[in-house]
Structure 1
Amino acid sequence: MPTIVVTGTQWGDEGKGKVVDYLAQKADTVVRYQGGSNAGHTVVVAGEEYKLRLLPSGVIHKNTVNVIANGVVVDPEVMIQEMDALIARGIDVSGIRLSNRAHVVLPYHRMLDGLSDEARGSGKIGTTKRGIGPCYMDKARRIGIRVCDLIDTDEFRKRLKENLELKNKELSLYGAEPLDYEKVLAEYEAYAERLRPHVVDTIALLNREIAANKKILFEGAQATMLDIDYGTYPYVTASHPVSGGVPVGAGVAPRKIDKVIGIVKAYCTRVGEGPFPTEQLNEIGDKLREAGHEFGTVTGRPRRTGWLDAPVVRYAGELSGLDYMAITRLDILDGFDEIKMCVDYKYKGEILKEIPASLKVLAEVEPVYETFEGWKTDISGIRSYEDLPANAKKYLERMAEVVGVPVGIVSVGPNRDETIIIASDLF
C-alpha cells in the first residue's frame, strides 16, 4: 500500500512543490486534497520554472494521473488557464482528473472575499481574495455549487439563479454592483464544456488504484499553522492541510495512508497577518528574504521571514504523524556566519510545553534560541548526506532531535536533481 502524504509544517511556502515533483518520478498518481487557487507551488525542472496554483505538482511528469479531489475548491478559470499554459509548453494535461464532488469558486466568492476582508479594517485577515474562504462557507451553508452541478446544464442554471439572488443582496451591503446572471452563466457554461472530459468520481478512482497497489502521492496546500482548526486562527486558511485532511478531502480511509512526510523550510516565512514568534524585522530578515526570493507565488507579496521555529514543526509532527521531515532551502543559509533555531517558547518566565491556542499569548512568547556556526560554502552540488559540511549536519541533527522526527530528504537547490535522499523506504 504505497501511499504517501506530503504536508507543510510551518506557515506554507516550504517548497512542497519541489519535493512532490521529485517523489512524483516514482508515483502513478498525485492528488491535491484541499485548498484552492490561493496556494502557489513552484516546480523547477532542468532550469524550467513552472508556477502552479490548482494543478497537482505531478502534472509535469508524463504518464502520471493528477487528481484534484473533492476537498479542493476549484476556480474553473484558473484551472483552464493553468492547463493552457502547460499545453503551450508541451505538457500533456490529459491525465488530469477533477472530482465531481469538488465545490466551484464563482465570481461572487472572489468579490465577497475582498470586500468582507477590507470591511474588517485593522482586523483584516490578509486574504488572497481568490474566493476560497467564501466558497468553503457556502459549502458549510449547503448552498455550494459542485462540479457535478456545473456540468449539468439544467441544474447549474437553476442553482446559479437561486444563488445570485442571495449573493447580489450580500454584495449590495458592501455597495458593490450586482452580478449579471446571463453573463456569469455564459462564462461558466463554457468552462463546463472545457472541463467535462476531466470530471470523474475521484473517490472511486483512488480506491481502485490503492486496491491495485498503485503508488499514490497526496499533496497538501498551505501548511499546519494555516489549518482552520490547528493554525493561528483566525489568520488561517479555510481547510485542513494536515494529514488528517486526506481521508476527508480525498475519500481515502486513514488506514490506507502508508507514510507522511512533513516539509520543513530550513528557516521560517509567513504571508499575511498573525503572530510569528521568530520573525526577524531586521537585516537578518531582509537577507533571508533576498537570498530566498521570498515573494508569494500567487500574490507576489513579500513574505515575512525569520529563524526556524522547531516547536511549530514539533507540533506539526504530532498532528500529522510525520514519519520523516524533508528539509528544503538549506542552501539559502549558505551565506550566514551564524544560524539560529528556536527550540522552545518561554512565557512569563516559564517554558511552554505546547503551542498556545491564544494568539495573545503566542504574540508574547519569547523564543529560546540555540546558535549554530554557519558552513559558509555552496552546498548545491552535494548529493550525499555524508558530504554535507559538518556544521550543516549539526544543524539538521539538532533539528531532528528537537522535533522528534528523522530527516528523510534534504533539498539543496530548486532543481529536481538538487536533492539528497536519506530515507531508503520512500515508495
Structure 2
Amino acid sequence: MRAKTAIILGAQWGDEGKGKIVDVLSGSFDVVARYAGGHNAGHTVIIGGKKFILQLVPCGVLRPDCQAVIGNGVVLDPMAFLKEINKLRDLGVDVDTQLKVSNRAQVILEYHRMIELAAESAPGRQKIGTTSRGIGPAYEDKSARNGLRVVDLLNKDLLKTHIENACREKNTIAQALFGTHPLDPAKMYDDYAAAAEQLRPFVTDTASLLNRAIDEGKSVMFEGAQGTMLDIDHGTYPFVTSSSATAGGATTGTGVGPTRMGTVIAVTKAYVTRVGEGPFPTEIHDDAGAVLQRRGAEFGAVTGRPRRCGWLDLPLLRYSNMINGTEWLVVTKLDVLDELATIPVCVGYEIDGKRTDTMPADVRGLESIKPIYTMLQGWQQSTEQARSYDDLPQLAKDYLYFLEQESNARIGMISTGPDRDQTIELPAFRTALRTLHA
C-alpha cells in the first residue's frame, strides 16, 4: 500500500513559492516536516492579506490542526529559532502545541556565522553568495563529526566543554586567516545555555514521531528548502547550498525510509530566478528582466537581495524532474507573465557549437551554454482572478501545456498570485491528494 506521504521541493534555484504551496496543501496533511537547510531559507505566506515569513518553522504550523516538525537534516540556530517562534506567537500561532524539533538536528553556533562571514568577504576567495548565517560551516562541522546536536545543547556540561574547545580552535583559525576578533566562550555558553532551556519543550525524537504517524495512517508532507539546482550533489556546484535539497534529502533529513515516501511534487516558477552567485543560462540582461523582477516582487524573503531573473529553462526542469522522480508540477507566478506579448522558453542548449539537452556537471560547461529558445505567444490578459483552469486565457493554457509536455511531469496546480486563494488545483491532482488523505 502506498504511504500517505508527499515530498514538496523546489525544481529550480529556490524561491519558487514553496511556502505558499506548502501552506495551501498542508490543509490536506496531518503533519508537515522540514528536512534540510537552515534559516537561510525564507518562505513567505500571505493569508487574507496578512504576511507570514517563515525561516526555520515549517509552513504547516499556520494550519491549526497540523503538526509541524523540524527534522534532523536541518541546521538550527537557537537564537533565530526563538526569535521566529516569538513572532509567530504574537501573530496568534500555537507553536507551543504544534511544533516539534529533532533532537538530532545540528546546532549553528556564533563562531559558524563569524567564519562564514569572514570567508565570504576575504580577498581572493571565490564568492558563493551565501547569506552568511553560518549554514555552511555548521554542515562542515557535521561532516567532520565535530558538530553539536540539539540533544547535546541540552546537556550543560557537554555544551560548556564543546564551546570552550571549539572557540579555542575557531578563534585561532579565524584570527590567522581573516584577522577577526576572538569570541568570548563564557558569554557564548551563558547565551546558548539560556536558549537551550527555552528550546527544550520542543525537542523530541522526530524520526519516531514521523514513523509512528505513518503507522497510524496519518498523512505526512516533507517540506524541502532552497531548490534542486542548489543541492550539494546535484546542483550547480560549487554555487550551491550545503545540504540535500532534492527528494533524497527527505529520507536522510527525517529518518523516514525511502519505501515510505509517496509522491514527489516539484514547484517551478513560470520563469526562473536565482539569488547570489553562479551560472544562470537563461538570465535576462535587458529590460524584460527588470519587468519580471518588479511584477514578481523578486526580492529575497530573508535577505531582501534582488533575484536574478531568466526565462523558463526546460532542460533544467527535465533534469530536476529526473533527479527527484517528480510526479506532479506546481507552476507559480503565472500572473507575472500576463503583460508580455511574446515569451521566450529555453528548449535546448548549445555548448561549443553542439546541441545538447544534458545539464553539464562543471561550471565551465554551465557558463558556456547558449540557450536555444522557442517563442510562445503571450496572452496579455490578467490571470490573477482565475480560480479554475477554464478561467485561464487560451494562450496561457497553451503555455502550460507546452511546459507540461516538455518537462516529463504532470501539472497539478497553478498559482496566479501570492494569496492562499489565488490557486488553481487541477481535477486529477485534487483526486490524488484526496487519496493521500483518505
TM-score range, shorter chain: over 0.9
Counterpart of 1:180 in structure 2 is: 184
For residue 340 of structure 1, what is the aligned residue in structure 2? Answer: 344
Q: Which runs of 5+ in 1 are unaligned?
A: none
How far does residue 63 in structure 1 lie from its aligned partner after superposition?
Answer: 2.1
Question: Deviation at 1:122?
Answer: 6.1
Give 1:220 deviation, angstroms: 0.3
What amino acid does structure 2 have at the position aligned with 1:425? A
- Which residue matches 1:125? 128
Q: Sequence identity, in percent?
A: 46
The 2-side partners of 1:257 and 1:218 are apart by 9
SS of the residue corresponding to residue 24 of structure 1 reads helix
State how far apart, in whole Å, the 2-side matches of 1:338 and 1:47 are. 31
Residue number in structure 1 paired with 2:11: 9
Residue 208 of structure 2 aligns with which residue? 204
Quick one: which of 97, 101, 119 aligns to 1:116? Answer: 119
For residues 310-353 of structure 1, the C-alpha deviation after alignment (integer angstroms, 9 at most, x for no partner) is 11111110000001000001011111111111111111232213
Partner of 1:53: 55
In the alignment, structure 1 residue 72 sits paired with structure 2 residue 79: no
Select 2:364's aligned residue among 349, 360, 364.
Answer: 360
Give the secondary-structure state (helix, strand or coil) at the position aligned to 1:84: helix
Distance 2:123 2:80 in 1: 27
- Corresponding residue SS for 2:294: helix
Whole-angstrom distance in 1 between the partners of 2:161 and 2:368: 51
Give the partner amino acid of 1:316: S
For residue 120 of structure 1, report the CA deviation from its aligned partner: 5.3
* 1:250-399 → structure 2 map (5 Å cutoff): 250-399=254-403
- Which of 427, 432, 437 aligns to 1:425? It is 432
Report the Cα distance in structure 2 between the residues aligned to 1:341 and 1:68, rounded to whole angstroms.
37
Counterpart check, 1:163 vs 2:170: no
Shift of 1:121: 3.4
Match of 1:90 in 2: 92
How far apart are the structure 1 equivalents of 2:331 and 2:113? 34
State the TM-score, normalizing by the size of structure 2: 0.96
State the secondary structure of the residue aligned to 2:9: strand
**How do 1:213-224 and structure 2 match up within 5 A?**
213-224=217-228
SS at match of 1:425: helix
Aligned to 2:31: 29
The structure 1 residue matched to 2:41, chosen from 39, 42, 66, is 39
Q: Secondary structure at the match of 2:27?
A: coil
Please tell me the residue identity of whatever aligns with 2:376. Answer: F
Q: Which one is further off, 330-339 or 116-125?
A: 116-125
Equivalents in 2 of 1:37, 1:328: separation in Å? 23
Of the three residues 128, 148, 164, the one matched with 1:145 is: 148
User: What is the Cα-based RMSD across aligned positions, in Å?
Assistant: 1.0
Question: Structure 2: how far apart are the matches of 1:355 and 1:98?
Answer: 36
Query: Any conservation in 1 of the 2:119–2:125 contact (CA below 8 Å)?
Result: no
Q: Aligned partners of 2:382 and 2:125: how far apart in 1?
A: 43
SS of residue matched to 1:317: helix
Once the two structures are superposed, residues 201-225 of structure 1 have per-residue CA deviations (whole angstroms, 9 ceiling, x without a partner) of 0011000001111111111000010
Q: How does 1:405-420 map to 2 (within 5 A)?
A: 405-420=409-424
SS in 1 for 2:367: helix
Structure 1 CA distance for aligned equivalents of residues 28 and 406 of structure 2: 31
Q: Distance in 2 between matches of 1:103 and 1:275?
A: 30
Query: In the aligned structure 1, how far is the partner of 2:414 from the partner of 2:85?
Result: 30
TM-score (ref. length: structure 1): 0.99
Number of residues paired by the alignment? 427
User: Aligned partners of 1:86, 1:45: CA distance in 2, in Å?
Assistant: 14
Deviation of the 1:142 alpha carbon: 0.8
